[in-house]
Amino acid sequence: GSTCTNQRGKIIEDLLLAENLTILNDGSPTHFSPHNSFTNVDLVICSSAIAPKLNSQTLTDLYNSDHFPIITHLSTPLSRKGSAKPKILLDKANWSKFHQP
């Protein structure tokens, strides 16, 4: 939210670099302060690997809050490894062992 980098900003910057993270914010203000000024205090952070698939937009209506809503869209569905249904192979079951008390 500041125009200059302070110690807290440096900590966030170091974390982003160390963990290969990206800020998706579009540059729009995310907060309206009681002093009638706008700041960017809310961040949308994600892995750099999925950043190209995400789009973040800050809405312009406060909706009775001091923070503007931020909408993040995923442009393509994420694939899930191992999401195939398990196959039941009835002919390979050891039925005699299964029926033992």
The answer to whether residue 85 sits within a structural domain is: no
Query: Domain tally for the chain?
Result: 1
The answer to whether residue 13 sits within a structural domain is: yes
Confidence at residue 4, expressed as pLDDT on a 0 to 100 scale: 74
Confidence at residue 20, expressed as pLDDT on a 0 to 100 scale: 95
The answer to whether residue 94 sits within a structural domain is: no
Domain that holds residue 54: 7-77
The answer to whether residue 84 sits within a structural domain is: no
C-alpha distances (whole Å) from 44 to each of 51, 55, 98 are 10, 10, 52
| pLDDT in 10s for each residue of the chain, 101 residues | 566 778 988 999 999 999 999 999 988 999 999 889 998 899 999 999 999 999 999 999 999 999 999 999 998 866 666 666 777 777 877 777 777 66
The answer to whether residue 20 sits within a structural domain is: yes
- pTM higher than the cut 0.95: no
Calpha distance 30→3 (Å, rounded): 14
For residues 3, 17, 57 and 72, what is the CA-based torsion angle, rounded to 10 degrees? -150
